[in-house]
Structure 1
């Protein structure tokens, strides 16, 4: 995600640095592809794709649904017109308020600093709350979230009470403290300021309930209310558990760590737990050594950290760990390996507040934007997808070794399996490339790369499978994956099984680097790609893909098989698609995190009918914000939308220099289904 409110000494280009210099080229004749593409562009603002390949996805995955190609089915098909959009599109906006369609109401809820647990310390308007207070309050910079019905574990689907679980991605130091971050006379950070900053990260679990009048509030005193922060103890699970490159002074055997950081999107597991993603974790650590290891180089870990937590007064171990410069004879006596315990998907059971979060290393270590699970079937593997949100990074798929059985399923299914990375071919086909030392094709490429420079890394092989997963990006480079334009959120269409991913933007892509899946040089507006797995089997190693829609200004076209399937108008222009979610009726919700300049104005959320590509703007956020994170109650009558880093004076009009992120509750005034 494009970040805002970073301190001047940590500028946006360094937040998500380009660190993939491997130079992968998935296509052999880029020039010919570019020439074909240009014949299909109109007025310099059009964009085209699937006609280049002679293949489309119309009807993909629809055999069992009896899809007639128009988003409807016969009465026995199980699919209905529920995906149709029943609201009038809202206009773009520059207002410092939320805009929703006529007939809808939007209310701010659970802003940063809301007390949810412990002694319930009240939020102070001057931001003078202590670090201990923040550990009991909703964190900062809301992001991905999910609503768990309170009767979920019993198989229920109540829509009037549940657990709202949300991520807190990063912080605005200037807003978090009364006068911004401070330093002592010896250039150290006050310990309580650092404690507060660590506590403002992580995850909030909030028990909420609707009253008879339809208003939502916190269930105070609930045992489910919980804060998970950048200092909460966690277990390492999967193949990387116990690997010597995870040994630290805190966990000499490499089985534990403290905290989760830069939590962007999330994923709901089939067994009802919450996976939170660790995205831009690299910036929290400082390594002053001249030759950092490859597991840091390939992620952009530098000599200075984003927030200077390692400079906390007093030298507490919980803060010293952010200095990963080797300072002792052995890794078990310092924190040179601390960064290796970050970059994973972290599993949290919101219904078991005493449970320890689990870092699931089999899903790979990189800049996880989130994770999305394919529908599960008894006796078949669990399959999930994750994007690495950085320019020229990759899309991954995990297939469990053990089969899914609802009666016994739990997080153990994510500890053994095969991690794949995607290669998008010019003809509309795609391949999943295994990142496994027992895969002959991968091993052949590993052996061929021995002793060569892979990007900025002198490659000398992998010690074991744990080493492969610790260096997932490097393994994907060697496998020959397709570098993408910042793959972010994913979503699986519940009606067709097609998998969608947002490719937010990539202004660094040159004309020489364009390819069929990323066909725009200096791609500042982004696009959404989708695919259908081979033989409708999510565990397949091949797929067919196309582009669902290109972002852009009025007149931007998406062309499939020679036909214009989308031509953007005032009702649906957008740029930098980011958040993505299918609701329980099959509508696709698209959130943006891009330019707030004309003609797009404030960031927004659009709804789409995936069958017809009818796309309409539904929601516009206040000034300066990113619109990120969306979920509804099971009856789809209450929608929760997160607003991150809003401008001053939203939502309460008196924040001054301390604006507060918040969740927005959207409902229809007639108590109907949102979007219908």
Structure 2
């Protein structure tokens, strides 16, 4: 991935850096499925495999009815989707169904506490002020209740828009600008409460920022004193936090995705090592040019600084003094998320490596997590990391990334388990994992523990399962672990839906009125609704010549996994991505993030320092302001459960 790729409108994740000869998912899919194996027109039409079964232990059983008075579950086996779908749109606004309201909470620049520095609409806040404000480009998120009508909202800030972050853009890069960008990255923890029917941020000792400069700890097989982690400073910071996870013991997991893009060098003689190239490290980075003002990000000066990123970071929201911990047993990749479920008392963590041609991983704890914590051992430090192989008969196998197992031996050049985890991608190559089209968010069905994964888009393939090359729309797959046990090492898989617009592709699964592309965010609510959020690239969004004019702006939809029905629930403003989702325990308030509204698009235009509102002016619509990412608070006007 080079800066020229970015200039041409390519997303960093769309360019593969996987040189292995491992089978691609498209090849496996072609051998396994026919066109009847996908969901079409909103109904399940799977012809073979576990999803087609109607009886027996392998059947995809519907959710059981819940007791009356349990909100949406009171519908039992009835219709999960009770709202009227909204049409696709291209307006600079947020649209939700009739009977719902969406309010804006904690936009970028909001002070953490009432005494903090106020947001300046000309983007002239300093780096020190930004460190005391809500970060930029909200992404993965979770709500931790702390009482009735209150709790901590924890959210990621994936990256920064260099045109909108500074009053004069980034034509000239300075150390102050690097520091401000670092302060706008990371994670925000804020207390919110419901008062008078509305949610608001309140002052709290828990309110804090974790940024690109916050001191961090390392735990697991790769320790902070590992030779390949030694750099010019003590370990600090987390960057490019995309999706997230949360643990049964009440901590938050932030996931470092496109960390490679922040590093670069002006040293003409520098060349990436094989491992650096495997992670997409290039001299230009993604054009941030931080290395020109801060040697920490000069890959020729501090090459080991790279190795401090690419991890899952555990944060205790209820302990402001605790350092974030990078849990190295979960591997070093471009983590899209870290979805945690529990099976036989053990934690299981699923993660996608979000780049074209990369893999899907899962971590399985070595013992029940409660026992480990009783022994003062962190459950995320003790277990086995696996990578997925999808076989052409509809089965799959989890391959252990364990030193001394299979090809991961000293005779083959592997030193120890720390080496395997530092070079996770190369280890997965060696094991013969299946290359995938940008594996992103993972969601686990609370009713039957089936696992769903978004494949946003990619190079595509010519076959009966998905006859698109390239694949501009993406799809969602699902699998069932053997015996319904998420710790198992084998599974059966199928395709849940092929995204797309039937007007351009008759094999697309959604009905024309609910067409969508590039599924990204994915989350189950307690009632079994599958919420799908989209991230169509701004080089493609709204364009008829790329088959996305009917799809419109990015959106969020809800699906019933039992029937395949999909309905559009929300449409975002221009230039945005819809991402991050959580609800209150009663399901009556939903939190959703609107990321990068107003970012440059080939359809709407390009913002400049002189005209930051060229694409969007959401949510402030201030004639002297600029677009701001923010969190939406969505409620049903009658106080009911979201989605009913």
Normalization by structure 2: what TM-score? Answer: 0.87
Offset of 1:291 from its aligned partner? 3.7
SS in 1 for 2:34: helix
**2:642 is equivalent to residue 653 of structure 1:** no
1:442 positional shift: 4.0
**Partner secondary structure for residue 421 of structure 2:** helix
In structure 2, what is the equivalent of residue 571 of structure 1?
513
Q: CA deviation at 1:23?
A: 2.2
Counterpart residue number, 1:18: 16
1:15/1:283 contact within 8 Å kept: no
When residues 201 and 62 of structure 1 are mapped into structure 2, their CA distance, relative to the original with a 3 A threshold, is farther
- Contact 2:34/2:464 (CA < 8 Å) preserved in 1? no
Corresponding residue for residue 552 of structure 1: 500
Relative to 1, partners in 2 of residues 1:659 and 1:7: Cα closer, same or farther, differing over 3 Å?
farther
- 1:182 CA drift (Å): 4.2
Matches within 5 A, 1:8-47: 12-14=10-12, 17-25=15-23, 33=31, 37=34
Correspondence for 2:401: 435
Instruction: Return the match for 1:362 from 321, 329, 338.
Output: 329
Is 1:310 the counterpart of 2:291? The answer is yes
1:626 to 562, 577, 583: 577
Aligned partners of 1:142, 1:61: CA distance in 2, in Å?
43
On the 8 A contact 2:618/2:627 being kept in 1, the answer is yes
**What is the CA-CA distance between 1:554 and the residue it aligns to?**
2.9
2:194 — aligned with what? 210
Judged with a 3 Å threshold, the aligned counterparts in structure 2 of structure 1 residues 61 and 587 are, in CA distance, closer, same or farther, namely: farther
Distance 1:353 1:608 in 2: 37
Aligned counterpart, 1:293: 273
SS of aligned partner of 2:628: coil
**8 A contact 2:240–2:256 mirrored in 1:** yes
Q: CA deviation at 1:249?
A: 2.5
Preserved CA contact (<8 Å) 2:53 2:60:
no
Change (3 A) 1:62 1:28: closer
Please state how far the C-alpha of 1:435 moved relative to its aligned partner: 1.0
Structure 1 unaligned residues grouped into runs of 5+? 152-157, 184-188, 252-256, 313-318, 327-334, 451-460, 560-565
Query: Which residue, out of 262, 274, 286, partners 2:240?
Result: 262
Call closer, same or farther: CA 1:61–1:86 in 2, change over 3 Å: farther
RMSD across aligned positions (CA): 3.3
Aligned equivalents of 1:399, 1:571: Cα separation in 2: 40
Match of 1:109 in 2: 105
Of stretches 591-600 and 489-498 in structure 1, the one that deviates more from structure 2 is: 591-600
Tell me if 1:527 matches 2:475.
yes
Listed as ranges, the matches of 1:97-176 within 5 Å are: 97-117=93-113, 119-151=115-147, 158=148, 160-176=149-165
Q: Distance in 2 between matches of 1:515 and 1:419?
A: 33
How many angstroms apart in 2 are the aligned matches of 1:102 and 1:265? 29
Residue in 2 that maps onto 1:316: none
Query: Unaligned stretches of 5+ in structure 2?
Result: 543-548, 599-615
Larger deviation, residues 356-365 vs 11-20: 11-20
Deviation at 1:623, TM superposition (A): 1.1
> Residues 414 and 659 (structure 1 numbering): CA distance in 2 closer, same or farther, change over 3 Å?
same
Number of positions where the alignment pairs a residue of Structure 1 with one of Structure 2: 607
Looking at structure 2, the residues matched to 8 and 105 of structure 1 have their Cα atoms a distance apart, in angstroms, of 37
Alpha-carbon separation, structure 1, partners of 2:101 and 2:257: 33
8 Å CA contact retained: 1:239, 1:416: no
2:216 and 2:14 mapped to 1: Cα distance? 25
2:87 matches 1:87: no
**In the alignment, is the contact (CA less than 8 A) between 2:26 and 2:461 conserved in 1?**
no
Alignment partner, residue 314 of structure 2: 347
Between the aligned partners of 2:482 and 2:623, the Cα distance in structure 1 is 52
Distance in 2 (alpha carbons) for counterparts of 1:85 and 1:243? 51
Partner of 1:604: 555
Q: Quick one: distance in 2 between partners of 1:296 and 1:32? A: 32
Q: Does structure 2 retain, via aligned residues, the 8 Å contact 1:587–1:610?
A: yes
Describe the shift of the 1:435–1:551 C-alpha distance in structure 2 as closer, same or farther (beyond 3 A).
same
CA 59–136 in structure 1, closer or farther in 2 if over 3 Å, else same:
farther
Give the C-alpha shift of residue 652 in structure 1.
1.3
| CA distance in structure 2 between the aligned counterparts of 1:31 and 1:418, rounded to whole angstroms | 27
Match of 1:178 in 2: 167
Tell me, what secondary structure is at the counterpart of 1:375? Answer: strand
Residue by residue over 1:513-559, the C-alpha shift from the partner in whole angstroms, topping out at 9 and shown as x without a partner, is x696x764311111111111012221111001111111011379999
Provide the rounded CA distance (Å) in 2 between the counterparts of 1:374 and 1:644.
27
Instruction: Quote how far apart the aligned CAs of 1:270 are.
Output: 1.3
User: What is the deviation of 1:178?
Assistant: 1.0
